[in-house]
Amino acid sequence: MGRPVALITGGSRGVGAAVARALAPEYDLLLGGRESTALQHVCAELGARPWPVELTDERAVAEAVAGVERLDVLVHSAGVARLGTIAELPAVAWREMFEVNVTAVATLTRLLLPALRIARGHVVMINSGSGRRAAPNWGAYAASKFALRALADALRLEEADNGVRVTTVYPGRVDTDMQRSVREQEGGEYEPGRYLAPESVARAVLATLGTGDDAHVTEIIVRPAAGPLT
């Protein structure tokens, strides 16, 4: 048997790329990502295989996973955030977030369950603090992350007898391009030093995967040491 295999979505930057770097010494990697240049760069750095699939296209996803017979780790890190009040945010923004943050996750997981069952693998869902608490202007995003939490909880119970473990990671605000975009949407300044480093979230994921067969870490909350933004 060769090295274990991990598939990471959103692997071209941010938390996904940090998780890829943390897993690279021990895993053969398949990395997904929308930005082809960035994805190729990370893959070349880590010796990973690019997996540039549009996650909202079920047919394309099904074709892309057809050759994956065994999968030890599946990390869902891809996601989008659109902010706005309930009164203002249009339906298209709600649909986009639920399509990317929930439906695409459920579809990819479903298609890879046979490979995960063979490996008695591990599914890691990178959620958000918004998956535990909603705030003004974050209602739609939080709703998608609450749904992702429910998806993980149900999957964990359904797949327990198949040996598939499911962990949800709830990071606070992370120092990523997505966070900069969010701060722009909020109309606030980006404050370096107030956010988690992507590598800190990656270390939490790596620790979860390193637990023995007798342990199942179901949830991890990682908050910035500097405290919440005002």
Q: What is the pLDDT of residue 89?
A: 97
Domain boundaries, the chain: 5-218
Burial of 209 (0-12, 13-18, 19+ CB in 10 A): buried
Higher pLDDT, 207 or 35: 207
pLDDT in tens, 166-202: 999 999 989 876 776 676 666 666 676 788 999 999 9
Q: Which of 182, 169, 172, 179 is nearest to 209 (CA)?
A: 169
Q: How far apart are CA 161 and CA 32, in angstroms?
A: 29
Domain at 5-218, CATH from 3.30.360.10, 3.30.2030.30, 3.40.50.1000, 3.40.50.720: 3.40.50.720
Residue positions annotated with a catalytic role: 141
Global pTM? 0.93
Q: Which of 134, 164, 191, 186 is nearest to 72 (CA)?
A: 164
The DSSP secondary-structure symbol of 48 reads: P
Q: What is the CA radius of gyration of the chain?
A: 17
pLDDT band, very low/low/confident/very high, at 213 (cuts 50, 70, 90): confident
Mean pLDDT lowest for which of 99-108, 140-149, 219-228?
219-228
Q: How far apart are CA 34 and CA 53, in angstroms?
A: 8
pLDDT band, very low/low/confident/very high, at 230 (cuts 50, 70, 90): very low
